[in-house]
Amino acid sequence: MKVLLSWSSGKDSAWALHVLRRDGCDVAGLLTSMNEAAGRVSMHGVREEVVRAQAAAAGLPLFTIPLPWPCTNGMYETRLSEAVDQAVRDGFTHVAFGDLFLEDVRKYREDRLTGTGLRPLFPLWGRPTPALAREMIAGGLRARIATLDPRVMPRELIGATWQIPFDHQNLYVTVNHDTLRVLEVFATGGGLSVSVGLLASKMLRGGFEPDEVAASLNKVIGTHSVWFNERLCTSPEQAVAECIMLTKRRIVNLPDSARAVAKMSLSDPMASAPATTGARVQITVCPDCNGNQVEFSGGCYTCRDCGFSKCV
């Protein structure tokens, strides 16, 4: 059995590949249809270079079906038939699909493959979606938004994702925003409970400021540490907190790290110094020790932790 997998570039295709390999099937290639005019996957609109990177990561060749735009159903079926014939000549015996429950879609695929020499496989068919989703998450699958329709969703909801090595595992943190405020947090891996991202998102949607959410996460102290964004994080929760604050800084066009913000503030005192001289005002972090005990008094910045001082 030599299997060609229909590849939409989404999570169901990825999990179908996992299941086929787990069950011992010889998956030898990925097949996807491409909009020739846009250079994107017909189904999800993902750029061709991204799909090729996915195929390379899976260690499989990518076979494409180029489709014109606009494309009639007759044109599609002609190009599909040509691709199927080529797959048979290349020795493929089966083509697999990540479909779950749409009977009409399955029947269409089966009808088009009848008599071609390729037999259809549906490794995920009929699986209850809640159980399947839990299995995907438990198996380590992480879905990231790569494409969205800006007529329906703000472009910024695509968010940013960080991969942070933590205790010999990868922690993945995605933070979404709408150019005005931080909206949601998704965090998986690194020994972190998925509930952390859910609770952080609930707090943000409930009106808590990013600083408040980050402060709560920063209280968690672990037994391993990682240097991330010019800061020592001693727990996955602290790394999530840093991603939240990093996103907030980007929204207001500040440097990514608190350390860089502090250096910028000290180098441009007219832009950031308190208006009332003599008042003691705590500011962000010390550019030397990265502590948050810098105070302004009598025209000078002083760190109570390490003694750093700069007068303006």
pTM of the model: 0.56
User: What's the chain's average pLDDT?
Assistant: 83
Name every residue whose Cβ is closer than 8 Å to that of residue 251 and which is 6 or more positions away in sequence: 177, 179, 180, 181, 182
Q: What is the pLDDT of residue 279?
A: 41
Q: What is the pLDDT of residue 86?
A: 94
Tens digits of pLDDT across the chain (312 residues): 899 999 988 888 999 999 999 999 999 999 999 988 888 888 777 888 888 888 998 999 999 999 988 888 899 899 999 999 999 999 999 999 999 989 999 999 999 999 999 999 999 999 998 899 888 878 877 666 666 677 776 665 666 788 898 888 888 888 888 778 888 898 888 788 878 988 998 999 888 999 999 999 999 998 889 999 999 999 999 999 999 999 998 888 888 898 888 887 776 544 444 444 334 444 556 666 666 666 665 556 677 666 666 665
Query: What is 90-157 written as a DSSP string?
Result: TT--EEE----S-HHHHHHHHHHHTTSS-EEE-TTTT--HHHHHHHHHHTT---------TTTS-GGG
